[in-house]
């Protein structure tokens, strides 16, 4: 408002004088109304301003336009932001005003411009429809996120194979042949969205939130499923120490043909990490399998899978996601595993 007064006093000394005179005269008009009144007088005297008002008061039609962008940041941690962007169309262009705002109207809120313009009685026939463009941004995902169909998590099974050897102190050098459970019917199976189990192994335990309790000694857990790579790059599978032994396979051998000799990473009785980096391609499912076994007491099963952008895809705190699944919804790009006990 001050800016306007400044311009008015420079450009229109006689009108400013008139206003001051009216204020002095104790007129009841509010300062806002006085301002509008001056503006109206200027507008009436200026054909250029009248033209502007015709354009300003013109009825509006809205044209909706969708701009499609391709996301350049295709990665797990951008998934949330990307969804939000798709959900909310944005108005990115203001009404099209081809005429420059006359000096007398500059800095005024549009409600006041509108009020002032409507005071100069422009005939409706002079008002030609103005176009307003509303732009919605739709982002094309570079990497698709698969749908889910109750397939989240990994399948797991509990076994008590007689072949698990004694290993009381877990001093290292421990071994056990995991293929012993391929054709062994497990005593229990279920699914889990997380992996991680730590216990002193002195009494029965619940596993992955099961209601059932299990003997915590001389048992094996077989976990299998698929990882879906949203983004191409190196994924890190990390086992930061284990008690007693853990095996990890990925790719076709994880589905069928897994043995001690083709294991991608194994670790036994160790406080040090076993890490393997695997290069996965965006949009593909890859079979993954973890087998863990414990002999007497103290059991530690801790592992994680981290995506190339640092997002943790699976660890002890993971919840269901489309990235770790039992099978794909189409049933073919990640085919269901055979029943436990009937594996090859
Ligand atoms: C890990 O798994 C892949 C895919 O099955 C296989 O090609 C590769 O040879 C394995 N690596 C090791 C070190 O066994
Ligand atoms: C695996 O990748 C991570 C992250 O890029 C890196 O820090 C680590 O050294 C790699 N480990 C191996 C065994 O290559
Ligand atoms: C899981 O969450 C708990 C509680 O927030 C935290 O103490 C623990 O470190 C987390 N574990 C992992 C593997 O991130
Ligand atoms: C899990 O156990 C149930 C009950 O014994 C059985 O019907 C089912 O086939 C098993 N699932 C798998 C994948 O082996």
| SS3 assignment, position 266 | strand
Q: How many of the other CB atoms lie within 10 Å of CB of 289?
A: 24
Tokens representing 69?
């962008």
How far away, in angstroms, is 81 Cα from ligand 1 center? 35
pLDDT score recorded for residue 45: 83
How far is residue 274's CA from residue 238's CA, in Å, rounded to a whole number? 6
Q: Higher-confidence residue: 340 or 175?
A: 340
Reported as a single tens digit per residue, the pLDDT across 169-215 is: 777 678 899 999 999 999 999 999 999 999 999 999 999 999 999 99
Q: Which among 111-115, 125-129, 241-245, 267-271 has the top mean pLDDT?
A: 241-245
Residue 218 has pLDDT above 50, yes or no: yes
- How many helices and strands, by DSSP H and E, does the chain display? 7, 17
8 A C-beta contact, residue 4 and residue 107? yes
DSSP string, 311-331: -EEESTT----TTEESS-TTS
pLDDT score recorded for residue 95: 43
Polymer length of the chain: 344
Could you tell me which residues are beta bridge partners of residue 68? 138
8 A C-beta contact, residue 97 and residue 55? yes
Please tell me the least confidently modeled range out of 10-24, 146-160, 305-319, 325-339.
Answer: 10-24
Closest C-alpha to ligand 2, atom 1: 277
Reported as a single tens digit per residue, the pLDDT across 5-43 is: 444 444 443 343 333 333 333 344 455 556 677 778 888
pLDDT score recorded for residue 20: 38
Q: Where are the alpha helices (DSSP H) in the chain?
A: 2-11, 13-24, 31-45, 47-57, 79-87, 110-118, 252-255
Q: What DSSP designation does 125 have?
A: G
First to last CA, the chain: 82
DSSP string, 50-86: HHHHHHHHS-EEEEEEEEEEE-S--SGGGHHHHHHHH
| SS3 assignment, position 115 | helix
Could you tell me which residues are beta bridge partners of residue 223? 156, 290
**Which domains are seen in the chain, by residue range?**
2-140 (no CATH), 154-325 (2.60.120.1560)
Residue 226 has pLDDT above 70, yes or no: yes
| SS3 assignment, position 159 | strand
Mutate to test the pocket of ligand 4, among 340, 341, 342, 344 (most ligand atoms within 8 A of CB): 340
Q: Higher-confidence residue: 256 or 299?
A: 256
Q: Where are the alpha helices (DSSP H) in 225-336?
A: 252-255
Q: How many of the other CB atoms lie within 10 Å of CB of 145?
A: 17
Who lines ligand 2 at CB under 6 A? 234, 236, 275, 277
pLDDT score recorded for residue 192: 98
Ligand nearest to the CA of 184: 4
Ligand nearest to the CA of 306: 2
In this prediction, residue 107 has a pLDDT band, given cuts at 50, 70 and 90, of: confident
C-alpha dihedral over 138, 140, 144, 150, to 10 degrees?
10
pLDDT score recorded for residue 33: 55
Say if strands 219-228 and 285-294 run parallel, antiparallel, or are unpaired.
Answer: antiparallel
Tokens representing 55?
């354009």
Mean pLDDT of 302-314: 93
Mutate to test the pocket of ligand 2, among 234, 236, 279 (most ligand atoms within 8 A of CB): 236
Ligand 4 atom at shortest distance from the alpha carbon of 340: 14
How far is residue 49's CA from residue 32's CA, in Å, rounded to a whole number? 20
Tokens representing 104?
């007398």
Which distant-in-sequence residues (6+ apart) come within 8 Å of 138 by Cβ?
Answer: 66, 67, 68, 69, 86
Q: Higher-confidence residue: 168 or 212?
A: 212
User: What share of the chain in percent tops pLDDT 90?
Assistant: 43
Mean pLDDT of 124-151: 74
Q: Distances in Å between the alpha carbon of 22 and those of 4, 9, 28, 36, 188?
A: 18, 15, 9, 14, 93
Reported as a single tens digit per residue, the pLDDT across 51-105 is: 888 878 877 776 676 666 666 666 676 665 555 555 455 444 444 466 788 888 8
pTM of the predicted model as reported, rounded to 2 decimal places: 0.68
Ligand 2 atom at shortest distance from the alpha carbon of 275: 13
User: What share of the chain in percent tops pLDDT 70?
Assistant: 74
Closest C-alpha to ligand 1, atom 8: 264
8 A C-beta contact, residue 326 and residue 336? yes
- Over the chain, what is the mean pLDDT? 81
């Amino acid at each position: 408002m001050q800016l306007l007064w400044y311009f008015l006093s420079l450009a229109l000394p006689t009108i400013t004088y008139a206003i001051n005179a009216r204020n002095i005269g104790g007129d009841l008009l509010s300062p806002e109304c006085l301002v509008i009144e001056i503006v109206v007088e200027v507008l009436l005297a200026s054909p250029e301003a009248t033209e502007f008002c015709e354009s300003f008061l013109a009825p509006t039609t809205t044209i909706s336009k969708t701009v499609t962008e391709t996301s350049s940041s295709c990665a797990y941690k951008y998934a949330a932001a990307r969804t939000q962007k798709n959900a909310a169309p944005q108005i990115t262009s203001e009404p099209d005003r081809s005429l420059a705002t006359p000096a007398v109207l500059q800095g005024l809120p549009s409600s006041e411009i509108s009020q002032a313009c409507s005071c100069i009685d422009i005939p409706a026939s002079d008002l030609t429809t103005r176009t307003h463009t509303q732009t919605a941004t739709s982002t094309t995902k570079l990497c698709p996120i698969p749908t889910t169909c109750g397939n989240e998590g990994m399948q797991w099974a509990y076994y008590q194979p007689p072949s698990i050897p004694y290993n009381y102190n877990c001093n290292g050098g421990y071994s056990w042949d995991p293929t012993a459970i391929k054709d062994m019917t497990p005593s229990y199976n279920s699914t889990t969205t997380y992996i991680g189990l730590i216990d002193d192994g002195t009494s029965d335990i619940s596993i992955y939130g099961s209601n059932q309790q299990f003997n915590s000694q001389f048992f094996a857990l077989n976990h299998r499923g698929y990882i879906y790579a949203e983004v191409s790059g190196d994924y890190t599978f990390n086992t930061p120490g284990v008690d007693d032994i853990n095996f990890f396979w990925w790719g076709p051998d994880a589905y069928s043909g897994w043995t001690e000799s083709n294991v991608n990473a194994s670790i036994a009785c160790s406080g040090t990490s076993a890490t393997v980096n695997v290069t996965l391609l965006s949009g593909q499912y890859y079979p993954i399998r973890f087998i863990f076994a414990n002999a007497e007491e103290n059991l530690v099963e801790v592992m994680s899978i981290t995506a190339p952008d640092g997002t943790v895809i699976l660890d002890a705190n993971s919840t269901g996601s489309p990235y770790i699944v039992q099978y794909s919804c189409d049933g073919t790009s990640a085919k269901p595993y055979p029943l436990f006990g009937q594996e090859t």
